């Protein structure tokens, strides 16, 4: 059921979270499928609803740095600097977890990904629930992430306890995930916060080598992910189009606007019955890194 985030609806959603239920809610990145992060049985329902393997860790949403620290066994100075600069916002910090965080949330790892979402509905929900909320994207595993409440409804129907409608997601792709367990620190999943911005905020040189990242270190690292059902091609400028009846989706030239429209555009084209859909290859520059990552995982091989 989709509801507007009234005071009454948010109180109801917070109660569902406290009782072990599932609530889909808006963030600035994409819509999340949330449960009480401290309740392993509730977290199990997230994996079951999504068809997500238990080896894929979840990001935990908190209200502020103080709540984040309560879930971390260690909070290094670099975490303080990043939180001060980018929270609330689309940045997930991977730090050593406290014992209070169930192993199911972290895929058995001794680290946990934490972030403060920059969306008033998400922040109010976590605050009123009084517990951190584990929340991957509110979609089936490896499919296109939802950026509005209707996307969530189309995927899950009435299977969820509640869907809070906070409008279209402003950022449009998932958060940048960084590991502060590595030395130097490293970007595990690129997003709309670039490595250059991270270095400027921390006065630290980050790992820039292309190393193999274990899938279990961060969500969103499977070779095929964020994928529509229709065959998707990323075309070099001037490249020949695939055979058959297809559509090249027209996208903005600005990376922020592109990211905000990407998943909605893929979902719309996916419903139109084409043999294939395509996007033109964006520039290979730092501000496009998160978008290029999503396209590389979603495209037909």
pLDDT in tens, 224-258: 667 899 999 999 988 999 999 999 999 999 999 99
End-to-end Cα distance, the chain: 37
- 59 with 161: CB under 8 angstroms? no
Whether residue 220 is predicted with pLDDT greater than 80 in this model: the reply is no
When pLDDT is cut at 50, 70 and 90, the band that residue 208 belongs to is: confident
The residues of the chain that CATH labels 3.90.870.10 are 2-217
- In terms of Cβ atoms closer than 10 Å to its own Cβ (0-12, 13-18, 19+), residue 181 is middle
Distances (CA, A) of 247 to 99, 243, 271, 278: 50, 11, 12, 6
- Please enumerate, as own/partner, the contacts of 201-208 that have beta carbons within 8 Å and a separation of 24 or more: 201/81, 201/82, 201/85, 201/86, 202/78, 202/81, 202/82, 203/81, 204/78, 207/182
**pTM above 0.75?**
yes
2-217 adopts what CATH topology?
DHBP synthase (3.90.870)
């Amino acid at each position: 059921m989709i509801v507007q985030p009234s005071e009454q609806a948010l109180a109801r959603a917070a109660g569902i979270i406290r009782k072990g239920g599932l609530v889909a809610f808006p963030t600035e990145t994409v819509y999340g499928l949330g449960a009480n992060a401290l309740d392993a049985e509730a977290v199990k329902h997230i994996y079951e609803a999504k068809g997500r393997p238990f080896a894929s860790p979840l990001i935990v949403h908190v209200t502020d740095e103080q709540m984040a620290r309560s879930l971390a066994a260690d909070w290094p100075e670099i975490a303080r600097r990043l939180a001060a600069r980018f929270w609330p916002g689309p940045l997930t910090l991977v730090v050593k977890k406290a014992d209070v965080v169930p192993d199911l949330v972290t895929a058995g790892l001794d680290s946990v990904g934490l972030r403060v979402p920059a969306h008033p509905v998400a922040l109010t929900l976590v605050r009123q629930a009084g517990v951190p909320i584990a929340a991957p994207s509110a979609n089936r595993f490896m499919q296109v992430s939802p950026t509005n409440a209707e996307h969530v409804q189309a995927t899950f129907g009435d299977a969820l306890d509640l869907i809070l409608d906070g409008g279209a997601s402003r950022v449009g792709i998932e958060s940048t995930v960084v590991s502060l367990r590595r030395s130097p620190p490293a970007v595990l999943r690129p997003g709309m916060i670039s490595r250059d911005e991270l270095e400027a905020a921390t006065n630290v040189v980050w790992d820039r080598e292309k190393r193999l990242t274990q899938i279990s270190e961060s969500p969103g690292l499977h070779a095929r992910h964020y994928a529509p059902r229709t065959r998707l091609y990323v075309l070099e400028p001037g490249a020949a189009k695939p055979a058959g009846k297809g559509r090249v989706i027209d996208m903005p030239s600005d990376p922020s606007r592109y990211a905000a429209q990407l998943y909605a555009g893929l979902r719309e084209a996916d419903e139109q019955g084409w043999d294939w859909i395509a996007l033109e290859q964006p520039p290979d520059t730092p501000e496009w890194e998160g978008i290029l990552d999503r396209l590389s995982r979603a495209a037909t091989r």
